[in-house]
A and B are shown apart, each in its own frame.
Chain A
Amino acid sequence: MSEAAGSGELRAEGLSFRIGSSELLRDVSIDVRPGRVTAVLGPNGAGKSTLLRLLSGDMHPSAGRVTLDERPLHEWKPQTLALRRAVMPQSSTLTFPFTALQVAALGRIPYTTGLGTARDHAVALGALARAGADHLSHRLYPTLSGGERQRVDYARALAQVWSAEVPGARYLLLDEPTSSLDLARQHELLDSVRSFAQEGVGVFIVLHDLNLAAEYADEVTVLREGAVVCCGPPRAALTASLVERAFSLRVLVTSHPRSGRPIIVPDPTRDGASTPDPGLPATPSLM
């Protein structure tokens, strides 16, 4: 199934990013491997989106480097890169009255020169279906709700890396793709992400919900104040002590009765501390 084994990876090594005197990321390394879902977690302002923007090549790191197939990202031609990886932004600024189908078809831009082909059209429809948005295909994008837009944006990203049309693994970078979705839709979308990954696509996903990450990610990286607190498979990385260190919130970690994956619930009553101070440093002593 996975075309990817041994065909390289999207890798960040020792990334730091500074704007003026504030350091948004500090010595962060992460591997996004084909066929795997890599989630990044962390409190607000931890540097999750900054990491995504460095991995996508929007910004250049102050130190460290990002490579795709062991070649620095900035050496790739944008047109070639667009055939290999798609990025789904947190929100879209599109205000022109495209239909949802047209928006999904915009993901085919790297493959077309003139008007779209029948295949592009079919891919856009297929991507909408996998995003659970096929019933929206003829609705105008600006009239959709936030959650509906999010699924259409996701479909656009899927359409861009729909199948292996050039050599090398494909990558999908998603910035909080479930932030406007209801519970059922969150799971639908992440289920689709996982099945896409199983086709050999490397997925990097920024998430807020620890339990979604625990359920769907193969690897998680937890950031706090621009630095990595922990990384590894969810079961190893999402322990109570590490989560408490990252989020300054007392939590209880149990495991899912069927999947055995970790479940994290806040436990503010313990020790009487109800309002954790985000300014506090790590509190391992509470364990």
Chain B
Amino acid sequence: MSSAAQSLPRRAPGAASLAAERAPLVVLGVMLLGTVVVCLCVGAVPVAPGQVAAVLASAIGVELPWAFGEREALVILQIRAPRILLGVLVGGGLAVSGALMQGLFRNPLADPGLVGASSGAALAALTLLVIGGPLVALLPGPLAGAALSLAAFGGGTLAVIIVYRFATNGGRTSVTTMLLSGIAMNALAAAGVGMLVFISNDAQLRDFTFWSLGSLGGVTWSRLGAGALLLCLGLALAPLLGRSLNALLLGEVEARHLGIPVQRTKAMVIFLSTLTAGAAIALTGIIGFVGLVAPHLIRLAIGPDHRVLLPASILLGGTLLLSADLVARTVASPAEMPIGIVTAFIGAPFFLWLLSRDPAGRAQL
């Protein structure tokens, strides 16, 4: 135990290690970019990378020396580009929402579904599908088209708000009570879903089943709309909570000793997690596994520092969802497989394999 007054190690290895902290973000960014390029090129209409570049350049008025047809331009700009943007935003949103919840609950198994975001959305979506038809008929055109998204977003958000209110007493939120009331909320929503399934007809049931498996299909620029804006907002704000979440992992009292406004942090975490998960579900239906696995993969690879974990989860979540969507839309082409099937079918065995090798021994913890 050195007792030399404030002496620091002479050659501070700080700079090298700081570069190491940021390196994963660069690697993940490049991975995401690569996946985006592949997704732009591959599909029912194959487009060469040079043509993709030329199409994108021409969209902003720059001529590149690769020839492309009307068809390629349409496929890239009107079909693949919005779909890829949706994939990046939803994948990033699901992943960051999982990372936030795992940090808040100090449990690597948590996800927004734990506090009712998915089950609330499912109940509201099914309610609309089964008994909401007459109501939708009354809505003006654009609103009717977005009715399922709005219902899902509203249902998920409402469920989390109810759970949050139950767990908050005298201005302080108990995370344990949130978990317990989340379980009750999920049970209640599941009962509601069961009830509606019981009275639904085959077509409604089929619609709901496909919705609950998720899909990025059929998206257009105009349908991205408000949901995409909400996701962008959530993705931009969530990484700012990294420092506070690191402190919260020590415990609430310890975080307060470190000067962290604990209650405000908890409220922000729940708000942003619900916002991102809610908007993601509203846009694509329920896509499982990404929210759980993306942050977990990051922790296995580079540890739990939330200042890196949150942005890294966004990048990896986007990459994973785009890759899954690539499989979903090519494996049974021209038909499209629900993406939830792909995320689980590929994601789960991969995750198990990763757990079994686990070089740093982190999964054992």
Give residues in A with beta carbon < 8 Å to B.
Answer: 56, 58, 77-83, 85-87, 89, 92-99, 102, 106-107, 109-110, 112-123, 125-126, 129-132, 140, 142-143, 160, 162-163, 188-189, 191-192, 195, 199
Shortest CB distance A232–B (Å): 27
Establish whether residues B253 and A89, one from each chain, have CB atoms under 8 Å apart when the complex forms: yes
Write the chain A residue with the least CB distance to B257.
A87
Known: A82-B257, A96-B304, A97-B365. A89 touches B5 (CB 8 A): no
> In the complex, which residues of chain B have a beta carbon less than 8 angstroms from the beta carbon of A126?
6-9
Say whether B13 faces chain A, with CB atoms less than 8 Å apart.
Answer: yes
Within 8 A of A (CB), among B244-284: 246-247, 249-251, 253-254, 256-261
A94's partner among B249, B258, B308 (CB-CB below 8 A) is: B249
B contact residues around A109 at 8 Å (CB): 243, 246-247, 258-260
A92 to B258: give the CA distance in the assembly, Å: 14
A106 to B249, CA, bound (A): 10
User: Which residues of A sit under 8 angstroms from B256, Cβ to Cβ?
Assistant: 58, 78
Q: In the bound complex, do residue A106 and residue B250 qualify as a contact, i.e. CB atoms below 8 Å apart?
A: yes
Closest to B107 in A: A95
**Complex alpha-carbon distance, A94 and B171, angstroms:** 25
Cα–Cα distance between A236 and B333 once the two chains are bound (Å): 88
- Given contacts A99-B303, A118-B12, A140-B362, A130 and B2 within 8 Å (CB-CB): yes
- Chain A CB count within 10 A is highest, among B246, B250, B251, B362, for B250
Contacts of B6 in A (CB 8 A): 126, 162-163, 199
Residue of B nearest to A110 (CB): B259
**B77 vs chain A, min Cβ distance (A):** 36
| Cβ–Cβ contact B259 & A114, under 8 A | no
Q: Please, how many angstroms separate the alpha-carbon atoms of A121 and B13 in the complex?
A: 8
Residue of A nearest to B305 (CB): A102
Residues of B within 8 A of A102 (CB): 303, 305
Chain A contacts of B249 at CB under 8 A? 94, 96, 98
Q: Which one, A123, A132, A143, contacts B361 given CB within 8 A? A: A143
Task: Decide if B254 touches A82 in the complex (CB within 8 Å).
Answer: no
Q: Which of A106, A112, A115, A140 contacts B360 (CB 8 A)?
A: A140
Given the complex, which residues of B lie within 8 Å of A132, measured CB to CB?
1
User: Which residues 59-106 of B sit at the A interface, judged by CB distance below 8 A?
Assistant: 106
Q: Which residues of A contact B21 (CB under 8 A)?
A: 115-116
CB distance from B251 to the nearest CB of A (A): 5
| B303 CB contacts on chain A under 8 angstroms | 97-99, 102
Smallest CB-CB A-B distances: 6 pairs: A82-B259, A118-B14, A121-B14, A122-B12, A79-B259, A96-B304
Is residue B352 within 8 Å, beta carbon to beta carbon, of the partner chain?
no
- Give 27 pairs: A residue, B residue, CB < 8 Å, sorted on A: A77-B259, A89-B251, A89-B254, A92-B254, A96-B249, A96-B299, A97-B362, A98-B249, A106-B250, A106-B258, A107-B258, A109-B258, A109-B260, A115-B18, A115-B307, A115-B308, A121-B14, A122-B8, A122-B12, A123-B8, A125-B8, A125-B12, A129-B9, A140-B361, A140-B365, A160-B258, A191-B1
CB closest chain-B residue, reference A119: B14
Q: Are B259 and A81 in contact (CB under 8 A)?
A: yes
Q: Say yes or no: A195 contacts B22, CB within 8 Å.
A: no
CB distance from B363 to the nearest CB of A (A): 9
Q: Does B3 contact A (CB under 8 A)?
A: yes
Is B44 part of the contact surface with A, judged by Cβ < 8 Å?
no
Max count, chain B CB within 10 A of own CB: residue among A77, A96, A113, A129 = A96
B3 cross-chain contacts in A, Cβ below 8 A: 130, 191-192, 195
Q: A92, A93, A107: which has the most chain B beta carbons within 10 Å?
A: A93
**Are A94 and B250 in contact, CB atoms less than 8 angstroms apart?**
yes
State the CA gap A26–B138 with chains docked (Å): 69
Q: Which residue of B lies closest to A194 (CB)?
A: B3
A161 to B293, CA, bound (A): 37
| B45 adjacent to chain A (CB < 8 Å) | no
Most buried by B among A110, A113, A192: A110
**Distance in Å from the Cβ of A10 to the closest Cβ of chain B?**
14
Q: Give the residue of B9, B17, B307, B362 whose beta carbon is less than 8 angstroms from that of A114.
A: B307
Collect the chain A residues with CB atoms within 8 Å of residue B361's CB. 140, 143
A104 nearest CB across to chain B (Å): 12
